[in-house]
Amino acid sequence: MKPTKMKSLLLILTAGTTVLPASAQQKKDYPIQPVAFTHVHVNDQFWAPKMQVNAAVTIPYTLQKCEENGRINNFRMAAHEVEGGTLSQFTFDDTDVYKVIEGASYAMQVKKDPAMERYIDSLITIIGKAQEKDGYLYTFRTANVKKPHEWVGSKRWEKEEDLSHELYNSGHLYESAAAYFEATGKRTLLNIALKNADLLVRDFGPGKLQIYPGHQIVEIGLVRLYRITGNQKYLDLAKFFLDVRGPKGDAYNQANARVVDQKTAVGHAVRATYMYTGMADVAALTGDQNYLNAIDKIWEDVVYKKLYITGGIGATGNGEAFGEAYQLPNMSAYAETCAAIANIYWNSRMFQLHGDAKYMDVLERTLYNGLLSGVSLSGDRFFYPNPLASMHQHQRSAWFACACCISNMTRFLPSVPGYVYAQNNNDLYVNLFMSNTADVSLKATKVTLTQSTGYPWNGKVDLTVNPAKSSTFALHIRIPGWAVQSPVPGDLYRYMDAPKAAFKLLLNGEPANYKMVKGYAVVERKWKKGDQLTLDLPMEVEKVLANAKVKDDVGRFAFQRGPIVYCLEGPDNKDGLVQNIMVDKNAKVTTAFNKDKLNEIQEISVEGTGTKRQLNSDELIEVKQNVTAIPYYAWANRGPSDMTVWIPYEASSARPQPAPTIASLSKVSSSSDNPRLLEAIRDQYEPADSKDTSYPYLHWWPKKNSKEYVQYDFAAAQTVSESAVYWYDDQPWGGCRIPVSYQVLYLKAGKWVPVEISSDSGIAKDQFNVLKFKPVNTKALKLEIQLPVEQSSGIHEWKVK
């Protein structure tokens, strides 16, 4: 921890750089301050085990993977301790090391770990050796390899507005350095960060380089250094990087307009929300009202029109970006884990600015659903996108070449207790519900709060208040929007049924005297030791409807209980299928706590109908069945499966199980590198057009200018005479186009022979390409495809008759 002398002394870090005690730092700031997570000791049955898994499994695992996948070797090469060799894949890979150091620092603040601290110290030594004399730290340039990465310019900062990520790396370095300093009191990494930041101050600013960061986060990191040192130049540079952005850049990284003129969320969702977080920080510390006006409008755009029911943001994988208003597809939802984390950072800041519970409502929804889904229960398998529907094509991965979401999760989870409480003079906010003991210093007195609850499975929260001396202050207890018939602010989602039970608030066993202010039940009184507040929230299962403008959710509802959004998953339902299930909107629902399933969950049960098609008939076969729903965050912990969050209650929205065909009964193989996509070409879901990503599709990206194949092997010989292919083509933005050519071959006497064509509709997108040929009796059929010279290709569906 920090040396005790730091409370009264300035610590000399580098020449001319000091660390200030909090009382001597900046005057302007957020009116509401979070109670630091080091003062909130969680002993909760839900969150404590998850934070323990992160500390014991995820952080060591990620460090190991950083070693195995070249992240740490990048620094050794830049330090010239290793000559030759190759760098890892992406220019931002340095940040994985920084982020996991940050996560380890937070974890060590919760529980000391001398062995981990020694290992981190060894990494910091390597990082220091990789830094150039003037403070520049960017392994992809300093390693001086023979063939530099194509994203690296011929000189420093040359490609920063594009893809070099030099400033992005710096931002995560600063966050990491601050965290390690706060955890250990050691200044080695902080000195490295300050040396780098001083270089940025020398190189950028009015009259110097007028360049904005290609990927935002350096703004947040510079503010962090300003808070530690009180040095105005770091805050000034953070504001400069925001003010120099736009208006002649790309919407992809929010440079299409000056930041103060932006009103809607556009482009890459992670870059955007990191920027909005940085704008909130700078606004709080400078009082710039124009920043506040902009992020207020953008927040409404996101929450009213672009937010998934899980709290996920970023609808499209094309640019990992926000879509248009109400564009919220489920199967192809991107909803990146990093975007969920950034969304929490942003909403936390918005609450600190405005003191309104609606921001914490969005934060809680994201925390329990779209963020927590990003890591497996075991702590060593991960999601990058977090879709709201799947047909076996999504599976948790042990690692990603772009591992930003994994390292980001390591740094976020230990900090969860820091979102529970906040304060402003004698106003004490209770924002999240989990069992803990917290120490808070209010203006009137020090207070120990003890929270006891079975949340999120149980809605009863007991809060014991122990002030050091009897004092008057106000407790602001958040009443979640979901508990008062408002799933989210705005009209993007609503409950299907009429209002049910109301919440109850008791003080020492009697109804409490409170007033509602901005979503909080405010109890102001002279508190004495042993006072107890009891909040009882209604834990009814609600059926949530989306705004009619969200076309993907028409005729469907989602289950929610408390803060938890539910999904249907194959392992819990008949035949492992859920896409074919329909549930009456008036069906009665029951719940049961299952302590032996998925690390303890509350399950939902309801009667539904499974539907399937028959050959040569429009009549559906309908079978009554019990339907089970589990918390969305827990899905895909039992392997890839069928899954959906939004459940049809109207037949027009249902997707009956297709009738068996020659193709669906065959074995599929392909030269594609992704075997999980093989089922897509015979799932009998026809796309709206060639770029439709509502259902799975097979592709060969990033291969190009090569010959590829896909093959059906039949259980017994079949007589076939027609092939119909629907190509995947995601122009203009994606990397797939219709192929240059293709041919159909059949297996004859162990050899592949081209079919004799009788008619050919040609190669075109947005339609089935039909090839009729002389009937053949065969046990296998193959498509051979020639990819374009500069693009790849893909297939939505391949029918055989």
CA distance to 1, 147, 221, 539, per residue, from 167 (Å): 29, 22, 10, 46
What pLDDT is recorded for position 683?
Answer: 86
Rounded to whole angstroms, the Cα distance separating 598 from 635 reads 9
- % of the chain exceeding 90 in pLDDT: 87
> 182-199: per-residue pLDDT in tens?
999 999 999 999 999 999
Whether pLDDT at 14 is above 60: no
Cα angle, residue 287 at apex, residues 283 and 289 outer, rounded to 5°: 75
The total of other beta-carbon atoms located within 10 Å of residue 518's CB is 14
Instruction: Over range 740-763, report the average pLDDT.
Output: 96
Q: Options 2.60.40.4070, 3.20.20.220, 2.60.120.260, 3.30.1490.20; which CATH number does 667-800 get?
A: 2.60.120.260
Instruction: Over range 435-462, report the average pLDDT.
Output: 98
Enter the tokens of residue 439. Answer: 């120490």
CATH of domain 31-40+255-415: 1.50.10.20
Sole residue written with tokens 């009897």: 470
Which has the higher per-residue pLDDT, 620 or 483? 483
- % of the chain exceeding 70 in pLDDT: 96
Q: So where are the chain's domains?
A: 1-29+69-244, 31-40+255-415, 422-478+504-536, 541-653, 667-800
> 322-333: per-residue pLDDT in tens?
999 999 999 999
pTM of the model: 0.91
Residue 350 half-sphere exposure, CB side, CA atoms within 13 Å?
27
Mean pLDDT of the chain: 94
- Quick check: do 31-40+255-415 and 667-800 share a fold? no
Whether pLDDT at 519 is above 90: yes
The total of other beta-carbon atoms located within 10 Å of residue 526's CB is 11
Whether pLDDT at 136 is above 90: yes
User: Do 641 and 576 meet the contact criterion of CB atoms below 8 Å apart?
Assistant: yes
Choose the weakest-confidence range: 30-34, 432-436, 620-624, 771-775: 620-624
What pLDDT is recorded for position 732?
Answer: 83
> 265-279: per-residue pLDDT in tens?
999 999 999 999 999
Cα angle, residue 140 at apex, residues 251 and 73 outer, rounded to 5°: 125
What pLDDT is recorded for position 112?
Answer: 93
What pLDDT is recorded for position 327?
Answer: 97
Taken in order 656, 660, 663, 664, the sign of the CA dihedral is positive
> 683-713: per-residue pLDDT in tens?
888 888 998 887 889 999 999 999 999 999 9
Whether pLDDT at 607 is above 90: yes
Per DSSP, helices labelled H in 137-212 are 139-142, 166-184, 188-203
Confidence of residue 19 (pLDDT cuts 50, 70, 90): low
Instruction: Assign 3-class secondary structure to 312-333.
Output: CCCCECCCCECCCCCCCCCCCC
Instruction: Over range 399-406, report the average pLDDT.
Output: 95
Instruction: Over range 150-173, report the average pLDDT.
Output: 97
Sole residue written with tokens 């009082």: 287
What pLDDT is recorded for position 181?
Answer: 96
Confidence of residue 473 (pLDDT cuts 50, 70, 90): very high
Rounded to whole angstroms, the Cα distance separating 366 from 311 reads 4
626 φ/ψ angles, rounded to the nearest 5 degrees = -80, 135
What pLDDT is recorded for position 23?
Answer: 38
User: Do 103 and 414 meet the contact criterion of CB atoms below 8 Å apart?
Assistant: yes
Whether pLDDT at 35 is above 80: yes
Whether pLDDT at 10 is above 60: no
Q: In the CATH hierarchy, which fold is given to the domain comprising 422-478+504-536?
A: Maltose phosphorylase, domain 3 (2.60.420)
Which has the higher per-residue pLDDT, 772 or 731? 772
Q: Which of 156, 146, 154 is nearest to 77 (CA)?
A: 146
Whether pLDDT at 564 is above 70: yes
What pLDDT is recorded for position 525?
Answer: 98
